[in-house]
Structure 1
């Protein structure tokens, strides 16, 4: 089948087959197994199908050739299962390749790829020429588990070589996207708010690399740290340490006097000494920071570099308009939070910067994620982002299967449960710290999935509908209204919440 220039399975897929089976009388020679695997992966991706390959095994004549019994199951270019080769084991597990194929995923993908039906029409509608033979499936309705691996971090490969290759591409997509925007606008400077947190850290190191490639002196990058009412000394120290290590121009603007004046002008009770830490209190700080950055860019001939990431945009975890939702170029908008952590570790591991910078980056990676807008409580506990909106590991998992695959929430919960229910099962990307290798049970997954659906579908689309420019990075999708995600700003989450209620225990 797949050695032909026009494989017959292509016509089968265009006729509607979701699973294409190649029962092959292929003998084995050195290197042929790799070629088969490459062709099976390519055909499953090109034909948007599951491709099942079975080579002839032991028991055939070896007068002039030999046989290895290679078995492969691919889906959309991804290997789901493979059998042992050259085995005489009586154990069926060694001699068989068994996997669960996701037919819904294949149908969704064919619906999205407009050229699939175009190709079927060009081929003269092969569905009219194929024989269809019906049979009774004899479905086994018992719960036999899930026979396919589900990555905990869908934006990050488990394999170290693939992880590093993806990080290389993601980082350079961001760098070249920003470099082109700086060239096109003939900006004299690049203005960025540096908090000492993950997102601004990553945006700053991307900016430094873009400056290097353009031949800029890094001093043309203007970094501003703007402490507010809850800024921690540790994060502010990290912000300054990173700016010094990278050699950018650093300045500090204390926004508290301006924030107090604004809160007093609008009659907010905090101005009268009350500990009122509401959304207005938080957004006054976020808004002032962005206001300062835009006016500084006006004053110094610069572009404001956005730092918010894909995860925050999915959840609406940003301040609209005059806030961190807005910038001249949103360099992180296509990168989820979980990938940003791996990108920073990749920069350290591959010596993108000097030892002093690496040391600061290591410190920042160890910090808890916090917006630092509300002062610590009586026990000294800082505001925790993940305590309010859920673990980013789960939110990024949900976002991937919504944005890229459009799956029903109950199916997303099913996949999340199999990915996260046992911390000891399956593979972890090598860079995940030991204390982050946690498990989540189904009630926890459901709790955060319901909140994700509410935030994603109902309360935050208006922020995404007004996104500034920024590069798409991952095949997992982006949220620009000009690209992968178009949705009404006045939508409702009811249909998704009802589906969860109907189909989850």
Structure 2
């Protein structure tokens, strides 16, 4: 944040709570079996540390107050009584701490012993959740000591002379922090075919917590990861896992202290296993994103209806969280390129999938279309390059000659020698049928027929001048397809469609099949790099692909030496890397513009910001301040919501590629063509103090 930004933007803009984030900590304190006093002190120390880290929630392991590996000592009266005393003492000692604490404790109720998760906040015990599924196989003997909490809905128990809610039907909800609603289950509960957290999520919990004392064996860490990630994805929630670690008895078992925080299937943070450092794992969870995703999936509500609406059964225990303003950096990975895989190990796999989705789409359309040729206009730019790359692979897969791809480069008044040369080099390297049509004579004639000043020698480079060239290229392509028995393969990409940076009825908006329509500009760049890295083509092709990647993105419709000539597309509409960031968060999650700006600032404020792939050495390392982000975001909002939808409403067919969404009017995005952007612009300006 610059000094100017600090003076002009309200402090509240930088508060993570304002943008729907909740800070979560996973704690694995040292433990001594059957020593609740020692364990209580260790829990308190980590709770205090979490409070300094401004955590909103801290999750401790199963039976963290007494230790898990006590075996028959669980049934000793002195241990049970001391555990309860230390629990009450711990609650009193945390009266000045802001985080909600989930602590594991053995507690007696009505002549039975329960393995429980106890919710504590600012000195108050909010409720006690008993474990439902008690493992009693192989090394586990929990039914020897504990009773199941199944069916114990609606009950209370006495602690320190107070009546406290008791049962598996409890949710803990901060009344002053929307979306901060917590469900607790214990270890084996989520190893069952139907974990209790499913009903908790359907009842409204956004953060599902597991207090665990799962011992470690070879490969079990992967199983926990799989269960936690899948539960967060299935329940459209965050899943927080804390397993017992150093200090548990190793008489027959061992412990690794695995902790993990997951959100909608993604691992957001993981602790170091087998550590004696007792570090906190801290991560910010986006509960706003979770609730938005639930709104978009009627399946979630259908599941609640099928389960007789669990929210009717659960008791919501409200508490006043009183969160402090949290205006520091987000503690979570942020993807600068959200359409691009951010895991280097998955980059090859995801690029392979994206590329082959396009190839298979084109193969199917080719086989279903009369004729045997594909017609593509080649400019020497990224989009037409990727279209010819996909078409070449489609021909290879169908075992038809690449000469069936008819490529036409059509230089106009502003075509540069670099792009023209790249276009010819690419066509020759690919082995396609290549031709050149100079559109300038036809353009002059059309401009003369319209009495345009350019036809009289005046340097008038207006929108008519530009679109006469763009339109002629498309006219030629469609008529060439008629003449030569084929169909036009469109080249326009998802980013251009979002911005409306395409001419209505022209090749970047209209074609017979739009093979790039589901691929944003940032992903196209990575897909071309992937083609080079994975040896899809020969060295000659790779060399020209590299050259095209290094070429400035430009429509080349106005001479470069003309006043106001469009030398750079990104100077006109903004960096594609920012526009794709905006598009993803608005299209995929419907986020408020102010939150999109906040996330973009977190990701892009320094060259080292964000979490993004570094596999390709030429990946750019740019930085943008908040003023720059806000400037381009306003332009994006106006173009996306107000001026461009009519172009998207008339899109040709093309495959959806990214889970981030598509803009097909038959698919992910339906909107009125005469909509306005006022509401979105006002929200952003008000949040930035510029309303």
Q: 2:432 aligns with which of 248, 251, 258?
A: 248
Moved more, 3-12 or 370-379: 370-379
Aligned residues of 1:51 and 1:74 also touching (Cα < 8 A) = yes
Q: Distance in 1 between matches of 2:532 and 2:508?
A: 27
Secondary structure class of the residue paired with 1:444 = helix
Moved more, 264-273 or 374-383: 374-383
Cα offset, 1:502, TM superposition: 0.7
Q: Distance in 2 between matches of 1:501 and 1:42?
A: 38
Deviations 1:383-416 (A, max 9, x none): 2100000000000000000110100000000000
Q: Distance in 1 between matches of 2:461 and 2:216?
A: 70
Aligned residues of 2:529 and 2:616 also touching (Cα < 8 A) = no
Moved more, 474-483 or 1-10: 1-10
Aligned residues of 1:345 and 1:431 also touching (Cα < 8 A) = no
Cα offset, 1:436, TM superposition: 2.4
Moved more, 242-251 or 60-69: 60-69
Q: Could you tell me which residue of structure 1 aligns to residue 347 of structure 2?
A: 163
How many aligned positions are there?
Answer: 501
Q: Distance in 1 between matches of 2:310 and 2:577?
A: 43
Q: Which runs of 5+ in 2 are unaligned?
A: 1-188
1:399-410 matches, cutoff 5 A: 399-410=583-594
TM, length-normalised to structure 2: 0.71
Q: Distance in 1 between matches of 2:214 and 2:611?
A: 33
Q: Distance in 2 between matches of 1:139 and 1:89?
A: 28
Query: If each structure's strand is expressed as a fraction of its own residues, which one has the higher value?
Result: 2
Cα offset, 1:424, TM superposition: 2.3
Q: 2:227 aligns with which of 36, 39, 51?
A: 39
Q: Distance in 1 between matches of 2:617 and 2:492?
A: 24
Q: 1:414 aligns with which of 573, 598, 601?
A: 598
Q: Could you tell me which residue of structure 1 aligns to residue 512 of structure 2?
A: 328
Q: Distance in 2 between matches of 1:80 and 1:480?
A: 31
Q: Could you tell me which residue of structure 2 aligns to residue 368 of structure 1?
A: 552
**Residue 357 to residue 156, structure 1, CA distance change in 2 (3 Å):** same
Q: 1:173 aligns with which of 340, 357, 366?
A: 357
1:197-208 matches, cutoff 5 A: 197-208=381-392
Q: Distance in 1 between matches of 2:530 and 2:575?
A: 22
Are 2:264 and 1:76 aligned? yes
Cα offset, 1:131, TM superposition: 2.3
Q: Distance in 1 between matches of 2:601 and 2:301?
A: 34
Cα offset, 1:382, TM superposition: 6.4
Query: If each structure's helix is expressed as a fraction of its own residues, which one has the higher value?
Result: 1
Secondary structure class of the residue paired with 1:467 = coil
Q: Which runs of 5+ in 1 are unaligned?
A: none
Q: Could you tell me which residue of structure 2 aligns to residue 450 of structure 1?
A: 634
Cα offset, 1:144, TM superposition: 2.9
Q: Distance in 1 between matches of 2:535 and 2:215?
A: 46
Look at both structures and tell me which one has the larger radius of gyration over its CA atoms.
Answer: 2
Pairwise CA RMSD? 1.5
Q: 1:216 aligns with which of 400, 411, 416?
A: 400
Aligned residues of 1:461 and 1:489 also touching (Cα < 8 A) = yes
Secondary structure class of the residue paired with 2:480 = helix
1:128-167 matches, cutoff 5 A: 128-167=312-351
Moved more, 418-427 or 376-385: 376-385
Are 2:198 and 1:10 aligned? yes
Runs ≥4 in structure 1, deviation > 6 angstroms?
A: 378-382
1:346-365 matches, cutoff 5 A: 346-365=530-549
Cα offset, 1:156, TM superposition: 1.0
Aligned residues of 1:40 and 1:53 also touching (Cα < 8 A) = yes
Secondary structure class of the residue paired with 1:132 = strand
